């Protein structure tokens, strides 16, 4: 477990003030234990006599260049995502900015506006190959046209389709304790429908092909995908350009002893409608998909800091930005980094007062937005050839 240092609520005689240089608070360190949807989900506001408590901490993987990291909330020791519905997860932590910003910066979503000229200017720079370190954050919306439902769309989302299992809360399908002790079959059923590489299974979409095009143009720095469908790799994105934040199906292991298990055996067992078990200890086996409460792959921690420091264009495709820490990536890039959102709706801190001049938003389905962007950049024929 990790620990967090709590700063007492401010009073008339005890106030923590920022200097004009907004000096960082040092020596409050968080050990390496980083878990999916846990570290940054602790943003529920607590009040004490009208004053917010604030805790300051620093991620171990952000090393010496990390800046002040301030959020309002409770200790992660008292918060476990699997016990809460999706409404418990914040859309954006707001002042949790690791690069180029302060806790005092306004990241509210009020008074947002859209300037189409920003989209056109970014397309022009793409066409001129001025962006050489594009980082893409990819969510479930990029895979919808492949027949894979997103998670939260009313009536069509994955969580809605799982109602037949009477889950206590939708995210239980990715809850390790629920899989281990209550009912593993919802996840087994999901694996049957989305396991990558099936002849009749999902195929890469236009959005995935666009990511491959960025790679071919020499523009792509990295893709941070929240998806577990493997469609980026099937589209031809090189493994070194890909960070699968929530894991993959290529490897499988025991949920108790971590013993590696042949992924083919795991797949065949699940396709028969059974739960695979470990040959060593007899516990359940699952693909190396990151469940709530589990650590993200070490690759995320190894690459995120340098990637976002060098990033000159951040693309966010098809995500509600609801699950941390991936949801915080748009707030971690430098303040001079351009950001483009291709999504059905505005999310996170896009077009907040501090970001309006560097943000572009293309509203709609990912594939349609990608086509329009490629037309603006003169890449439409290149896209068609993939």
- What digits encode the pLDDT tens for the residues 63-77? 323 332 322 232 233
Q: Within 13 Å of residue 191, how many CA atoms lie on the same side as its CB?
A: 29
Task: Kindly state the average pLDDT of the residues 295-300.
Answer: 92
The rounded mean pLDDT for the chain is 74
Strands 134-138 and 220-225: parallel
**CA angle, corner 160, sides to 154 and 162, nearest 5?**
170
Task: State yes or no: pLDDT of 264 exceeds 80.
Answer: yes
Give the model's pLDDT for residue 157: 66
Give the list of residues 6+ apart from residue 160 with CB closer than 8 angstroms, or none: 153, 154
Assess contact for 142 and 316: CB atoms under 8 A. Answer: no
Average pLDDT estimate for 185-190:
91
- Name residues whose C-beta falls within 8 Å of residue 17's C-beta, 6 or more positions apart in sequence: none
Phi-psi region of 166 (alpha: psi -120 to 50; beta: other; left: phi over 0): left
Catalytic, 246? Answer yes
pLDDT score of 17? 32
Number of neighbours of residue 297 by Cβ within 10 angstroms: 17
pLDDT(298) > 80: yes
pLDDT given at position 299: 95
pLDDT of residue 155: 66
pLDDT at 306 over 90: yes
Confidence (pTM): 0.68
Catalytic, out of 14, 26, 208, 246 = 246
Query: Angle 206-216/366-377 helices, nearest 10 degrees?
Result: 40
Structure confidence by residue, pLDDT tens digits, 318-328: 999 998 899 99
Asked which of 55-59, 310-314, 355-359 is least confident by mean pLDDT, the reply is 55-59
Q: What is the pLDDT of residues 87-116, one digit of tens each?
A: 332 333 232 233 333 333 333 333 433 344
Q: Each residue of 337-361: pLDDT tens digit?
A: 999 999 999 999 998 878 888 999 9
Q: Which pLDDT tens digit goes with each residue over 204-253?
A: 999 999 999 999 999 999 999 999 999 999 999 999 999 999 999 989 99
Q: Rounded CA gap, 141 and 119, in Å?
A: 20
């Amino acid at each position: 477990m990790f620990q967090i240092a709590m700063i007492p609520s401010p009073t008339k005689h005890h106030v923590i003030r920022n200097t004009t240089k907004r000096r960082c608070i040092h020596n409050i360190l968080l050990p390496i234990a980083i878990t999916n949807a846990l570290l940054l989900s602790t943003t529920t506001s607590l009040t004490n006599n009208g004053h917010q408590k604030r805790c300051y901490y620093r991620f171990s993987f952000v090393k010496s260049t990390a800046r002040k990291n301030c959020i309002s909330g409770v200790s992660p020791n008292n918060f476990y995502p699997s016990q809460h519905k999706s409404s418990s997860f914040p859309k954006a932590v707001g002042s949790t900015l690791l690069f180029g910003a302060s806790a005092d910066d306004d990241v509210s979503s009020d008074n947002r506006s859209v300037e189409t000229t920003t989209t056109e200017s970014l397309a022009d720079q793409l066409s001129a190959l001025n962006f050489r370190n594009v980082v893409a954050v990819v969510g479930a919306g990029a895979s919808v046209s492949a027949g894979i439902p997103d998670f939260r769309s009313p009536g069509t989302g994955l969580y809605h389709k799982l109602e037949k299992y009477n889950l206590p809360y939708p995210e239980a399908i990715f809850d390790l304790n629920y899989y281990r002790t209550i009912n593993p079959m919802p996840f087994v059923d999901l694996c049957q429908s989305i396991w990558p590489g099936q002849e009749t299974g999902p195929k890469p979409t236009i959005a995935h092909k666009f990511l491959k095009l960025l790679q071919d143009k020499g523009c792509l720095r990295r893709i941070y995908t929240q998806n577990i469908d493997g469609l980026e790799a099937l589209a031809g994105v090189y493994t070194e350009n890909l960070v699968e934040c929530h894991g993959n199906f290529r490897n499988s292991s025991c949920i108790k002893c971590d013993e590696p298990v042949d992924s083919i055996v795991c797949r065949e067992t699940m396709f028969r409608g059974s739960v695979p078990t470990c040959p060593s200890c007899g516990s359940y086996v699952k693909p190396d998909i990151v469940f709530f409460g589990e650590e993200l792959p070490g690759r995320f921690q190894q690459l995120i800091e340098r990637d976002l420091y060098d990033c000159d264009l951040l693309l966010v495709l098809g995500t509600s930005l609801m699950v941390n820490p991936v949801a915080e990536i748009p707030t971690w890039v430098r303040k001079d980094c351009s950001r483009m959102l291709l999504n059905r709706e505005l999310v996170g801190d896009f077009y907040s007062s501090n970001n309006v001049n560097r943000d572009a938003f293309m509203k709609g389905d990912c594939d349609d937005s990608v086509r329009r962007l490629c037309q603006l950049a003169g890449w439409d024929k290149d896209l068609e050839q993939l």
